[in-house]
A and B are shown apart, each in its own frame.
Chain A
Amino acid sequence: MTTALSIPLEHVFFLAIILFLIGAFGVLIRRNIIFMLLSLEIMMNACGLAFVAAGARWAEPDGQIMFMFILALAAAEVAVALGLVVQFARRFETLDIDRAEELNG
């Protein structure tokens, strides 16, 4: 069975690169922690896309399995990071990441 797709592998890689760089750009320009986490999600998705594309090139399941590990990592990261965001917002009354520069409890 096939989805009758016929595109070069590089095109999917270029899409992954562009999405990754959009995420990196978002991390660089934002000061709000929630938006930085959101940009990190876009970057992780780009990595997963590259893995799935490489798996599809050889029609092997390993790419999808790596994507599932990335998914588990993203879920764990978001759970802990959003807990930290809630603590941060309570302590500093803002979401400005620059307020965390001293890191002294």
Chain B
Amino acid sequence: MNLSFFLFYISAAVAITTAIMAVTRKNASHALIYLVVTLLSIAVIFFLLGAPFAAALEIVIYAGAIVVLFLFVVMMLNLGRSSVARESQWLRPGMWVLPAILSGVLFIVFGYTVLQTENSAMIEGQVVPPKEVGTVLFHEYLLGVELAGVLLLAALVGAFHLGRRYLEERREN
């Protein structure tokens, strides 16, 4: 029982609460702010697990880049009060019952599987420094790095292609 122990459970509770808030909000901007808090608490958990590099990437790329991309699109589409009213219309009470039951069933299945594992052990929080991660990444996983680069290039070309027509037609109007 020490500080890290409690920090883990506090961050876990914050992550779960804000994740629930993020998927149930009606205003997209509010949901994204809750998502940022979820990502930050997951980053704290990464740090406690002894993965400081993953924690830094979680903050820099997820909370810093991906959520900002979401925010740009939300601003570009100009989702205001009318979209909040439409969300209330779409999120009718009672429609969450079946998804909740299905999620509960999946939770039982997943939980049963995890509890059956024989490799259960304590995580001691042994820190794996970024240097070690980099060494393994660029030796054993070099092919994966190359493929990730190709994937990002494809995404870049795809996003450019999808966005360009929108911008051109806007210019014509």
Query: A residues touching B (Cβ–Cβ < 8 Å)?
Result: 1-15, 17-26, 28-32, 34-35, 37-39, 41-42, 45, 48-49, 52-53, 55-57, 59-65, 67-69, 71-80, 82-87, 89-90, 95-96
Contacts and interface: CB of A to CB of B under 8 A. Distances in A.
B151 to A, nearest CB: 5
Chain B interface SS verdict (over half): helix
Contacts of A85: 73, 77
A27 to B, nearest CB: 8
A11 B141 CA distance: 29
Interface of B: 2-5, 8, 12, 15-16, 19-20, 22-24, 28, 31-32, 35, 38-39, 42, 45-51, 53-54, 57-58, 61-62, 65-66, 69-70, 73-74, 76-77, 79, 83, 87, 90-91, 95-96, 99-100, 102-103, 106-107, 110-111, 114-115, 117, 119-129, 132-133, 135-137, 141, 144, 148, 151-152, 154-156, 158-159, 161-163, 165-166, 169
